[in-house]
Amino acid sequence: MSMLKGAPWLLAHKSMLDTNKPQKISLYGKDYVMWKDKTGQVNALPNICPHMGAMLSEGWCEVQADGTSNVVCPFHALEFDANGCTVLPGTNKKTLPQLEPLDLIVKDDFIWTYGGCEPKIPIPDILEKIARDYDFIGYTADTSVQTDLRSMLLIMHDYNHQNGTHRDLFEITEVRFEKFIDNGYHSEAFYNMPTAQKSFWDKLKQPNQLLIPDVIKAHLENHFPSLVILYAKSFLGKFVQCHFFVPETSNQTRTYVLLYGEAKNPLAKLLKNQFLNLVKVVVEQDAGILSKIYADVQQKIKLNNEVGMDWVKRNFANWEELVNSKGVGSSK
């Protein structure tokens, strides 16, 4: 149950896939090859070639007359279409499917899957709304971290770790927690974090600091278990960071961020890469600390403002109940 079967996972935003370039994706302990053809269609097959087991993600794509493409095995060049059918040398006929495609649910640019499990909770429709209301800035920090999904989610909902994990970056002086709205597998958290006072000249010396306001006003919108959205303001306008989580195996979890912004200010466009880089540093720092904690330690001390982590723990412990009742601990 550690990988929460029945939840929808966002495998990628279409911008993350180069056209006709096979890419490896892992979910629930299985590897897949995913590729986007020039018509924009995205396909996914198990990554193990049924001939002698080569990784199809190491192969290439062959474009067909209708613009779609097949994936070609790098070992003996057998070619598989989106349905997993191939044509054996010396024959002129397609075989029956040799690989079972992974079911993908593509909504606009968002590529979701239930990993072949029965859907237990719906796909959040918030991303289409964000894509309509903001400009897409880019994706960043696509990282596979050696940790379980629960530990990864805990750090995202840990409002105190900025003081340690991200100490040098944000220099948070205090966490002013405002409220947490618990709505089952959906929740929201509001808190403010004043940062150390710095002169403009000091900030200029470390350009990342320019993007960090005097008070970080955070609004988190959480769609358990696959998505955390952070709405934040800087002097450049509003930014929306969508953090995604994918349980690759029970002990390996992928995370990445899609960044959106209200690019009113022309400077925002100029600082686009700085912003993506800042988010990348934050994710790297999280990955760093996750590799330096002892797993499964019984927590003997509790700090203030651990309500977000309590929400994660409860949802993990009561996953079946949560998805069946559509709202454990609902307070709305």
Residue of minimal Cβ distance to Fe ion:
286
Binding partner of residue 78 among ligand FES, Fe ion, none, CB cut-off 5 to 8 Å per kind? ligand FES
Out of 5, 14, 30, 54, name the contact with ligand FES by CB under 6 A. 54
- Which residues partner with 188 through β-bridges? 181, 221
- How far, in Å, CA of 240 to CA of 131, rounded? 10
Exactly one of 25, 73, 155, 230 binds ligand FES (CB under 6 A); that residue is 73
Q: Could you give the CA distance from residue 280 to residue 262 in angstroms, rounded to a whole number? A: 20
- Identify whether the C-beta of residue 193 lies closer than 8 Å to the C-beta of residue 166: no
- Segment near ligand FES (CB under 6 A); pick from 51-59, 215-223, 228-236, 285-293: 51-59
> Stretches 230-238, 251-259, 265-273, 279-287: which one binds Fe ion (CB under 5 A)?
279-287
Residue 239 pairs in a beta bridge with: 232, 261
Smallest CA-to-CA distance from 170 within 308, 28, 282 is with 282
CB 121 within 8 A of CB 6: yes
Q: Which is nearer to Fe ion, 123 or 156 (CB)?
A: 156
Give the residue, chosen from 71, 78, 123, 287, that forms a contact with ligand FES under the rule CB under 6 A.
78
Residue 12 and residue 25 in contact, taking contact as beta carbons nearer than 8 Å: yes
Rounded CA separation 32/248 (Å): 11
Token pair listed for 268: 């925002």
- Indicate which of Fe ion, ligand FES, none lies near residue 286 (CB less than 5 to 8 Å, by partner kind): Fe ion
Q: Does 72 bind ligand FES (CB under 6 A)?
A: no
Residues in CB range of 228: below 8 A, 6 or more apart: 156, 157, 220, 221, 222, 242, 243, 245
Work out which of 2, 18, 24, 52 binds ligand FES, going by CB under 6 A: 52
Work out how close the CB of 158 gets to ligand FES at its nearest, in angstroms, rounded to a whole number.
44
Kindly tell me which residue out of 286, 322, 323, 328 binds Fe ion, with binding defined by CB under 5 A: 286
Task: For residue 30, give the 3-state DSSP assignment.
Answer: strand
Binding of ligand FES by 60 (CB under 6 A): no
- Rule CB under 6 A: is residue 76 a binding residue for ligand FES? yes
Query: Whose Cβ is closer to ligand FES: residue 74's or residue 194's?
Result: 74
Residue 225 backbone phi and psi in degrees, to 5: -105, 0
- Of 15-23, 27-35, 48-56, 320-328, the window that binds ligand FES (rule: CB under 6 A) is 48-56
- The rounded Cα 204 to chain-centroid distance in angstroms is 31
Binding site for Fe ion (CB under 5 A): 286
Binding site for ligand FES (CB under 6 A): 49, 51-52, 54, 73, 75-76, 78
